[in-house]
Structure 1
Amino acid sequence: MEGQNIQHERRNRTLVFKIISVAVPFCLLALLECGLRLFHYGYDLSLFIEYPNDKNYLYLNPDASKRYFINQKNATTGNVEPFRKEKAPGTRRIFVLGESTTIGYPYFHNGSFHRWLQYRLAHTFPDQHFEIINLALTAVNSYTVLGFARELVDYQPDAVLIYTGHNEYYGAMGVGSTEQFGGNPALVNAVLRLRSLKIMQLTADLYQKALALGSSQKPQNDGTRMQRMVAEQQIPYQSELYKRGVAQFRTNMSEVLNIFARQNVPVFISNLVSNERDLKPFVSFPVDSTRFPGFAQNYRMALDFLQKGDSTQAYHYFKKAAGHYQSHALCHYYLGQLEAARGNAAGARGHFSIARDLDGLRFRAPEEFNQIIRQLVGGYSNAHMVDVKHIFEMASPHGTIGKELILEHVHPDLKGYALMSDAFYEALKKAKFISPVPDSEMSFAQLRREMPVPSIDSLAGVYKVANLKSSWPFNAALDRDSVRTETFEERVAFDLAYRRISWENAMDQAYNHYIEGQNYREAREIVEALILEQPGDAALYSKSAMLSGQLGDERSALFSFQKAFSIVPSFETARYLFVLLLKMDQPEKAIPYLDYAIRYNTSGLNLTPVRALAQEVVALRASFSTDSANVSVLNRIASAYYKMDNRDGALLYARKVLRLNARNEAALQLVTLLRLPR
């Protein structure tokens, strides 16, 4: 019995020692984690942090992307678009997720599709408040979209817009990227969640330092971020690595939609567009002449005829070559060009699409991704398909997307971004997320005319793309653009594109230049561009309104003053508003601003008589609506407007009288008075 007790005690001691031996490393790790946090080591990787200029607001954490990059040199930052911690009643909050196209490369700022959408919503629904917060980053993919989706659901989203897929292979954590560890999405996502731990950040930092130490003796050119991010430059179609990328996209996007479905958040996800007609495949794999002996000879002959300008024979031999081997990217690309020249639009689209999918350098998403998006959207009642591809095809020659809308491989030009915004706008309408009144809705044509994208932004985008085309992998695939820097706008845009000045500094230079030259229209465009960047700045709205006044644009002045007043009510803004509304013969809308001005009068003006006269006009207009030919009422309205020094309103009604009775003495007398100099 005693021996059994001793044995039992030994087993217990052994178990305790085992537990201690297992627990000690975890305790040491916990202590290390606490110590690192105590000394503020590493980064806060939260999606949002407090906005330093106003503690009532949050904005996208500049360090949020560091979770997804092993090499912090490659980490990217996004937009600064503050939004309230506590969502104001009536606010519609929309988050935007995606990659470089989604953030608006190469224009950024007001070139991006979400800014076009923001401007249109603001003018279609002037009395509603929309917060559109773009969380897109360059050089990321569905892992970042998923990680951000997990966090943003806690910030009261009313809708989420998504455009992602082109960076799936080479974006951070992509299967073909230098920024990846393992290809299993479940494993990668688990590790990404752990990277908020300071120990994980320390480990990553030590790893990077070791790599740098090991390569310190090797001089190397880092190249562009695009070049640094690519590990596998050749990923054949339907290869194992290709399929892993497809599975990665499907798994992550399925979970993204699951997250929003659980919270019943409407999500609008777009299919993908790229340059198919005017961009040769980057990598077209050589063909095994032993297995496919007929391909090489026919392909070579086709190229010879193409060079000689004999498209008929070139087409014949390219078709023969494709009959021997169907997976040569360049062969399909040339067939697409020749089919287009023959007027066979459907055939051209088919060949261009195959050429893109067979391209071994996967900077353009394959069509399979669009099929995945459509399939996933069909499984969720809260998910809505945005068919950007159809919109682009409709706006492209023969329905094939090329350089008319795409700058290089995947990034739209300004017209393209406008079309993207229209596709999302129409999807929001179809889902009844918005219900515009037809007469007050800003049309797409009006949006194209009025959207404030300064020429400096447009030119800076041209310079950025020209620089991109001069580097790998575009130097052999696209024609280079010529760059001029002769005008004021070109010089400032060049400095902006090459980061010699900030965007804010560029806008400041442009505004001062236009004001000095009394070019008030261009100056207003700069101010309105700043408004889209800082939609909560009442002073910018007031500045825009004053410039609209200089231009005689009363409608725009009224809109801007109303926005300024909704943000920061003031006597001065109320005074501008009631004067404008009376001038525009809208006394009913003027009275609330008159009431505010009377209540908070800081000028000593006696506005009570003006209010009484405005109320009189409202009553007279009510009777006028039942008897539009009542000259007496028209004269009384004209007189009331004259008494309140509203010369435009008085002249409007005096002329109405004279159209009914050209000899009306009261109206003639009033017109004479109005024509006298003040």
Structure 2
Amino acid sequence: MRAKGGKNNKKFPSNIKKSIRRRKPVTHSRTEKRIVSTSMGKEKQKDEEKPSPNPITGWRLWLFRIIALTVIPALLFLFLELGLRIVGYGFPSAATLKCEVNGRKSYCDNIKFGWRFFPRNIAREFDPFNFTAEKPDDTYRIFVLGASAAKGEPDSAFCFGRFLEVILQDTYPGINFEVITTAMAAINSHVVAEIAGDCARHQADLFIVYLGNNEVIGPYGAGTVFSPISGSMSLIRMGIAIKATRLGQLLTNLLGSRGPGKNIPKVWGGLEMFLEKQVQAGDERLETVYRHFERNLRDISRFARKGRAKIIFCTVGSNLKDSPPFASLHQPSLTATDKKKWDEIYKQGVAYEADGKYDEAAARYLDAAEIDDCYADLQFRLGRCYWEAGEYNRARQRYIRARELDTLRFRADNRINETIRAVAGDKVAKGIHLVDAAKAFEKNSPHEATGQELFYEHVHLNFKGNYLLAKTIFEQVEEILPGHIKRHRDNERPLLTEAQCAQHLAYTDWDRYTITDKVLNGFIKKAPFTNQLYHEELVNLMEQTVTSLKDNLTADALEEVAALYRRAIQEDSEDWYFHYKYGKLLAEDIKDYQAAAEQYRLVQDYFPHSYTGYNALGSVLRGLGDLDGAIDQHLKTIQINPTSAEAHRHLGWAYKQQGKVDKAVKHYSQSLRILPTDANVRFSLGLIYQSQKRLDKAIEQYRQALQIKPDHAKAYNNLAIALYQQGKFNEAVQTYRKGLLLVPNSLDLHYNLAVLLKKQGRRDEAIEEFRAALRIDPNSAKTRKALKAIL
């Protein structure tokens, strides 16, 4: 059709046009209007009388509502979840993951499992493990569940699970015992229940549970800094389940992007993180903790039975005699007047105790207890007085009371062990067994008061303690073993002794030194241990022990240790701990980096999924000067574990050595995002900024380094130089002097201060600083030359 005005547009005849224009409007009479109106009304009435569609009522309405509230959201959730998985968002949430080791289909630990329960930067990990997907014939598979005590802290190479495996293997030759320790530091039964559910799918024969110390401070506990306590177990389980999904992880990350909660730690601080989370013995939240603990234990046993495995629950031991309370609080109802009176009496008792007058001290402590007996330190001091007086049973009761009243609840209390006994008691027919480890520890301790004979500190077992626990569990395992395995028992063979286990596990003098040093400097010298009674006395004793052990590690002694590791590897070449620890000895003490690299490559072969071997190999390659190789290994490390601040730090150093400053800054900065309290990384970043003349940024990093480590001499030195470069001469001098107050024996600080004073014309002060530098190092040629020039 053409547009209006086109050539073919036809015209109307003129006569028709006129007719249209002349037509008058139609008019109706009143009668006609009534007829029309009546007709329209009838039509309208007919329309209204037509039946309308039936409304949704009854069961159809409820069905619609149910679909709208459940099916549609479920489909939407499923769609979003699948979409997130397809694009690779999030992380796998199971405790174990499929992997391949030397061509064998296997399962291995999931390094990201802890992300469900902790902030990523401080999430705890399993020690690496793997096992074949299909259990081999003549194999008995045992899973060990628990927290740091079960893991074997401070050195998991000597956890009780490894003792148990050695003892079983020696007693039943021809049977392959797999003891897989799936324990993790800082977790409690809420987390362990998830691990148990996963492990139950892997043809387990036996579960061993040593658990209970972290019920109050772990996730969802009454004194935690992680996920807060809830009275509803259903809500806790729902939250854990949601975080296992990619959509749940997305929501968690979106909420986290708004900033971490003010009470959530950004850096792992060990037990120090819980200083403000004191929980008194009468706190009503403890009942929730005990109830949840029992529920989780029952669920763990249910998972074991579902997987057709038996289960052993162990009661939990703790150090009573040699681990004073971490914190004490008075009863809330104590008045100010009574508090003042209590303090006076308590101080009198302390004075008597310091003088060795234990009877008098005990009498005053008992008087104080008449006013308030809820103060944990008071009970412990009473215990010590009774112990010194030879009243051991009374002492033990007071030590127990002190543990129960400790308001930093890092040790399992009586209710925890009572719950374990109740869950496991008289259920042998259901495959549930009890090992009363706490009783075994008591029987093997002086006057049944557990102490340093079995424990490193408050709960972690020493070598002797782990051997005793394994031996006690072994006795129960023997009763559980099926007949076809029992027939393999070598009855002529006596049970391995502690010394024989030490040989099998390559427990050396070097291990004794490294472990004791770690306990002292990694635990005892830090809060809350620093708040314990008699702390200085303990530190002095341990420092003497560490010094003695270190002095004995001569070059010849280290070679003997190396020989022990080589022999252990020859006997069991598939034990990754032997390779890893031997590599560590070679790298850190013997300085044979090439040999260490060989051991770390073997660790990678056994655990290709773990970053442990890659990070270690990268470190020794740096020592060998192979920067490209080191970078490659550390990049593999962060690919597996993106939250490794150590690997990012090493990458920053290596790239800086190669002159790739931008990459160095990137990895140093990432290291600080993960671990902002690393003073050395801040110093290294400051050096780069200073070399780029970005002095404000350099000064900021140096000052932050000094806030973290006030005695960082190099940070003071470079901060002063940067201030000098900005023309702030007096501030630079003040910085040097402040540094020397904290590090008086720093040659560089004295020397550089002298140089600066000389430039300012302050000759006498400069001479004094040069002479101070010479007293530190009389052989310093540059100091002698500078002093001679100014005189």
Fold match (TM-score > 0.5): yes
What residue is the counterpart of 2:432 in the other structure?
383
- Kept in 1: contact 2:320–2:449 (CA 8 A): yes
Task: Note the 1:51-70 alignment, pairs <5 A.
Answer: 51-54=99-102, 55-69=104-118
Structure 2 distance, partners of 1:3, 1:10, is 20
What residue is the counterpart of 2:88 in the other structure?
40
Work out whether 1:205 is the aligned partner of 2:253: yes
SS in 1 for 2:108: strand
- Kept in 2: contact 1:121–1:130 (CA 8 A): yes
Normalising by the residue count of structure 1, what TM-score does the alignment of the two structures yield?
0.68
Count of aligned pairs = 511
What residue is the counterpart of 1:6 in the other structure?
52
What residue is the counterpart of 1:447 in the other structure?
500
- Kept in 1: contact 2:275–2:528 (CA 8 A): no
State the 1:325 CA deviation. 2.7
What residue is the counterpart of 1:185 in the other structure?
233
State the 1:65 CA deviation. 2.4
State the 1:126 CA deviation. 2.0
SS in 1 for 2:378: helix
1:424 to 448, 462, 473: 473
What residue is the counterpart of 2:739 in the other structure?
none
- Kept in 2: contact 1:178–1:231 (CA 8 A): no
SS in 2 for 1:406: coil
- Kept in 1: contact 2:112–2:125 (CA 8 A): yes
SS in 2 for 1:138: coil
- Kept in 2: contact 1:185–1:252 (CA 8 A): no
What residue is the counterpart of 1:460 in the other structure?
514
What residue is the counterpart of 1:195 in the other structure?
243
1:464 corresponds to which letter in structure 2?
A: K
- Kept in 2: contact 1:289–1:295 (CA 8 A): no
Structure 1 distance, partners of 2:266, 2:52, is 69
- Cα deviation digits, residues 94-124 of structure 1 (max 9, x gap): 1110000111100112x11111111111222
2:527 corresponds to which letter in structure 1?
A: W
C-alpha distance 137-15 of structure 1, shift in aligned 2 (>3 A):
closer
Work out whether 1:280 is the aligned partner of 2:308: no
State the 1:205 CA deviation. 1.3
- Cα deviation digits, residues 396-450 of structure 1 (max 9, x gap): 2222111222111110111111111111112212445674443124333553453
2:220 to 162, 165, 173: 173
2:150 corresponds to which letter in structure 1?
A: T
C-alpha distance 376-117 of structure 1, shift in aligned 2 (>3 A):
same
2:497 corresponds to which letter in structure 1?
A: F
- Cα deviation digits, residues 598-631 of structure 1 (max 9, x gap): xxxxxxxxxxxxxxxxxxxxxxxxxxxxxxxxxx
State the 1:136 CA deviation. 0.5
C-alpha distance 491-155 of structure 1, shift in aligned 2 (>3 A):
farther
Bigger drift between 196-205 and 336-345 goes to 336-345
Structure 1 distance, partners of 2:98, 2:61, is 51
State the 1:387 CA deviation. 2.1
- Kept in 1: contact 2:225–2:265 (CA 8 A): no
What residue is the counterpart of 1:584 in the other structure?
none
C-alpha distance 317-147 of structure 1, shift in aligned 2 (>3 A):
same
2:442 to 374, 380, 393: 393
1:407 to 439, 447, 456: 456
Work out whether 1:469 is the aligned partner of 2:524: yes
1:476 corresponds to which letter in structure 2?
A: N
2:382 to 323, 335, 355: 335
State the 1:27 CA deviation. 4.3
SS in 1 for 2:319: coil
- Cα deviation digits, residues 284-338 of structure 1 (max 9, x gap): 1135145857644433322232223211111112122223333221111111111
2:160 corresponds to which letter in structure 1?
A: F
1:191 corresponds to which letter in structure 2?
A: G
SS in 1 for 2:150: helix
1:95 to 143, 146, 152: 143
Task: Note the 1:300-315 alignment, pairs <5 A.
Answer: 300-315=347-362
C-alpha distance 20-51 of structure 1, shift in aligned 2 (>3 A):
closer
Structure 1 distance, partners of 2:351, 2:552, is 45
Bigger drift between 369-378 and 393-402 goes to 393-402
Structure 2 distance, partners of 1:3, 1:195, is 57
Structure 1 distance, partners of 2:206, 2:57, is 60
2:443 corresponds to which letter in structure 1?
A: M
Task: Note the 1:546-561 alignment, pairs <5 A.
Answer: none
- Kept in 1: contact 2:510–2:561 (CA 8 A): no
Structure 2 distance, partners of 1:125, 1:371, is 34
1:325 corresponds to which letter in structure 2?
A: D
Which has more radius of gyration? 2
Normalising by the residue count of structure 2, what TM-score does the alignment of the two structures yield?
0.59
C-alpha distance 91-299 of structure 1, shift in aligned 2 (>3 A):
same
Bigger drift between 92-101 and 194-203 goes to 194-203
What residue is the counterpart of 1:616 in the other structure?
none
Structure 2 distance, partners of 1:163, 1:375, is 15
Task: Note the 1:141-540 alignment, pairs <5 A.
Answer: 141-183=188-230, 184-212=232-260, 222=267, 224-228=269-273, 230=274, 233-287=277-331, 288-289=334-335, 292=338, 295-381=342-428, 382-431=431-480, 435=486, 436-445=489-498, 447-448=500-501, 450-451=503-504, 452-466=506-520, 467-477=522-532, 478=535, 479-480=538-539, 481-482=542-543, 483-484=546-547, 514=559, 520-521=563-564, 523-525=566-568, 527=570, 531-533=574-576
Structure 2 distance, partners of 1:363, 1:259, is 27
Percent same amino acid among aligned pairs? 24
C-alpha distance 298-63 of structure 1, shift in aligned 2 (>3 A):
same
SS in 2 for 1:318: helix
State the 1:264 CA deviation. 4.7
1:72 corresponds to which letter in structure 2?
A: R
Bigger drift between 157-166 and 47-56 goes to 47-56
- Kept in 1: contact 2:139–2:178 (CA 8 A): yes
State the 1:276 CA deviation. 1.1
- Kept in 2: contact 1:246–1:369 (CA 8 A): yes
C-alpha distance 48-449 of structure 1, shift in aligned 2 (>3 A):
closer
1:118 corresponds to which letter in structure 2?
A: E
Structure 2 distance, partners of 1:245, 1:255, is 15
1:443 corresponds to which letter in structure 2?
A: L
- Cα deviation digits, residues 337-372 of structure 1 (max 9, x gap): 112122222211111011001000011111111111
SS in 2 for 1:93: strand
Structure 1 distance, partners of 2:50, 2:198, is 56
Structure 2 distance, partners of 1:315, 1:389, is 28
SS in 2 for 1:119: helix
SS in 2 for 1:143: helix
C-alpha distance 266-4 of structure 1, shift in aligned 2 (>3 A):
farther
SS in 2 for 1:439: coil
SS in 2 for 1:160: strand
State the 1:530 CA deviation. 5.6
Bigger drift between 163-172 and 304-313 goes to 304-313
- Kept in 1: contact 2:509–2:549 (CA 8 A): no
- Backbone CA RMSD of aligned residues: 3.5
State the 1:6 CA deviation. 2.1
SS in 1 for 2:461: coil
State the 1:242 CA deviation. 2.1
2:163 corresponds to which letter in structure 1?
A: W
C-alpha distance 219-44 of structure 1, shift in aligned 2 (>3 A):
closer
SS in 2 for 1:403: coil
C-alpha distance 380-535 of structure 1, shift in aligned 2 (>3 A):
farther
State the 1:219 CA deviation. 14
- Cα deviation digits, residues 5-60 of structure 1 (max 9, x gap): 42624879999997786566554433322211111111111222123433422122
